[in-house]
Chains A and B, each alone.
Chain A
Amino acid sequence: MEKTIIIKPKYQRKNLISDLIGITIILILFVSVLYFLRDALVSVFISAFISYLLMPVIDRIERLGLTRIAAVIIVFLLICTSLTIGVVSLVPLLINQIDAIQARLPEYKEIVQAEMFYMKDKLYYWQFLLQERFPIVGEIHVVENLLNSSYNNFMNLFAEGTSLSSVFSLISVLPLFIFVPFITFFLLIESRAIKKYLVSLVPNRYFEVSLNLLYRIDKQLGNYLGGLIVECLIIGTLSAIGLYFLNVRYFLFIGIVAGIVNVVPYLGPLIGSSLAIIVVLLERGTFTNVIQVLVLFIAIRLIDDLLIIPGVISKVVKVHPVVVLIAILIGENLMGILGMILAIPIYEVFRIILKEIQGIIYRHNLT
C-alpha cells in the first residue's frame, strides 16, 4: 500500500474567489430569469409557497405509516372540506358586506367630493394669505397641483365601472384556481426528489455546505412563516371581533384585510387601522367612534407586540426596523404587493447565504 498521497492541484481548494464569482453569477442569472418570468410563474410561486407550508403536515401524516400520495390526498381533502365549510358559513356574510360597500360607493363619492371642495376652499384661502407675504406662492400653483393630483387619485377609486367584483375578477384568478392545486399536488409528492435533484447539481466540494444552507434557510423560513400565519389569524380575528362590538360596518371584511395586510411589517397594521377609520368616517361616525377604533387597534398592536410576537415568532431573528422598511420599499418597487410580503423572507435568505459565504472565506483564510 502506498504511504503518501498528493491532492491533485485541480482538487485543491485554492480557487475560492473564482468559485464565489461563479456562484454569484449563477445566482444573479437564476434570480433574473425568475424576475422576468414572474407573471408567468405566479402559479408556480404560489404553489411552491403553499407546498412549503403544507410540507410539515404531509411529513407528519406520512410518518404514521401512510404513503406520501395518501398523505397528500388526505391533506387536500381536509383543505377542501374546511374551505367548503368556510365558504358556506362566512362567504355569504362577506359578500353581503362587499355588496353593501359597492351599493354605497356613490354616497361615499359624494361625501369625499364635498370634503374635497371644503378643503379646496380652505387651501385657496391659506394660499391667498401666504400670497400676500410671498407672491411667488401664487405663481407655482401649489394648491392647484396638489388638489388636482389627489382629487384624481380619489375619484379614480370611485370611477364608473370600477367595482370590487371587477378587482377580484374571476377571469384573472380562474387559471390560478386550476393551476395552483395541480402544481401544489405534484410539488408535495415530488418534494424529496426535487430537493435531491437540486442538490445533485451542486459541485462535490459544496455538497455539505449546500445541504447546510438549505437546512438553515428552511428552519428560519419555517419559523418565520409559521409564526406569521398564526399572528395574522389572531390579528384578523381580534380586529373583526373588536370592530363588531364597536358596531363598525363591514367588520368582517376589515378584519380579513387587517389580518392579510399584517404580513407586511409596520405598514400592514397601519393599513388595517386606516381602513377601519376611513369606513367610520365615511359612515359619518363621530369623533368618539374614531377614537374607539384607534384604541382598539392600539390594543391589538400591544397584544401583538407583548404576547403574540414573543410567544409565537420569538425564534425569528430580530431585524432592525430601518432594514425592514428598506427591504419593504425595495420589494414594493420590484414586485408590488407580493414584493412587500416577500421582502423579509427574501432578506433572511440572503442574510443566511452571505453568512455561510463569510464562514467559507474565514475558513479558507485559516487553511
Chain B
Amino acid sequence: MSLLGFKEESSELLKFLKSNPLLKELSKKEIRKIEMITHLREFKDGEVIVQAKEPGLAIYIIKKGRASVALGSVSENGKILQVLEEGEIFGEMSLFEDQPRSTYVIANGDVEVLGIFKHDFDALITRDIKIGFKLLYNIANLLSSRLRKVNIDLYKKFEVEEPTIP
C-alpha cells in the first residue's frame, strides 16, 4: 500500500500514454519511466495553461478536453491559431531552446493535461539513450508535420499553388 495513500500510477494513465504518438515505439517499461515524471494538472474553462513571454519549462499532453493556442496580450482579445484536441502535444519548443513561450495556450472547457518538466525530460533522455532516441525522433516528426502545416497555410495565404509530387 502506498504511504499516505498517494496514488503513484494508474493503469488508465499508462494506457493513455501508450496510445500517444509522442510515445510511439516505446515499450511498456519505457512508458512507465515517462509516467514517473508526468504531473497531472486540471484546468478550468478559460484558464491559462501556458503564458506567452514566460520561460518555457514544460511540455504538455492533453489527456482530456481541448485547448486553444492563441496570440495576443492578456488585456486584449487573443487571436486563436489552433485548437488542440485530446492526445495532442504543446510546449515542445521549450525542450530545445531557452526562449520565452511564443503563444498562449488556454483551456477550452475543462481540461486535463500531463505536464513533463524540461529538466526531468533532459535527465531521462540523457540517462536512457534508447528512450531519448525514440522520444526525440517522435518530437522531430511532430515538429516536421507542424512546419508542413505552416507551409501549407502560407501557400494559401499568398495564393501560390502547392507543389505536387508527380
Interface set of A (CB-CB < 8 Å, partner B): 1-8, 11-14, 63, 186, 189-190, 192-194, 196-197, 199-200, 204-205, 207-209, 211-212, 215, 363, 366-367
Contacts and interface: CB of A to CB of B under 8 A. Distances in A.
Given A189-B3, A211-B39, 13 more contacts: A3-B80, A4-B72, A4-B79, A13-B48, A13-B74, A63-B128, A192-B36, A197-B6, A211-B57, A211-B58, A211-B119, A363-B53, A363-B54
17 contacts: A1-B80, A1-B83, A4-B77, A5-B68, A5-B70, A13-B51, A193-B2, A193-B3, A194-B4, A197-B4, A205-B51, A208-B56, A211-B39, A211-B120, A215-B119, A215-B120, A366-B53
B117 interface: yes
A190 B3 contact: yes
Contacts of B90: none
Contact of B2 (A8, A11, A190): A190
Contact of B106 (A3, A5, A193, A200): A5
Contacts of B8: 190, 192-193, 196
Interface size grouping (class) on chain B = 35 or more
B6 A207 contact: no
A299 to B, nearest CB: 40
B18 to A, nearest CB: 20
B39 A196 contact: yes
A205 B7 CA distance: 23
Most buried by B among A1, A4, A212: A4
A200 B42 CA distance: 10
A367 B70 CA distance: 16
A42 B25 CA distance: 47
A208 B80 CA distance: 23
A11 B128 CA distance: 38
Interface of B: 2-4, 6-8, 36, 39-43, 46-49, 51, 53-58, 68, 70, 72-75, 77-80, 83, 104, 106, 115, 117, 119-120, 127-128
Nearest to B58: A208
Contacts of A204: 41-43, 47, 49
A16 to B, nearest CB: 12
Nearest to B128: A63
B47 A11 contact: yes
Contacts of A199: 39
Contacts of A7: 46, 48, 74, 78, 104, 106
B68 to A, nearest CB: 6
Contacts of B55: 208, 212, 363
A11 B78 contact: no
Given A196-B39, A208-B58, A11 B79 contact: no
Given A5-B106, A7-B106, A189-B3, A208 B74 contact: no
A74 B106 CA distance: 46
A152 to B, nearest CB: 49
Contacts of A192: 8, 36
A186 B104 CA distance: 40
B107 to A, nearest CB: 9
A6 B39 contact: no
B47 to A, nearest CB: 5
A3 B41 CA distance: 26
A190 B68 CA distance: 36
Nearest to B100: A363
A6 B77 contact: yes
Given A4-B78, A4-B80, A196-B8, A207 B39 contact: yes
A11 B58 contact: no
B53 A208 contact: no
Contact of A12 (B2, B75, B119): B75
Going nearest first, the 9 A-B pairs with the smallest beta carbon separation are A193-B6, A4-B77, A208-B57, A190-B3, A193-B8, A8-B46, A211-B117, A12-B74, A5-B78
Contacts of A367: 53, 73-74
B162 to A, nearest CB: 22
A220 to B, nearest CB: 13
Given A207-B41, A207-B58, A215-B119, A5 B3 contact: no
Given A207-B58, A208-B57, A11 B77 contact: no
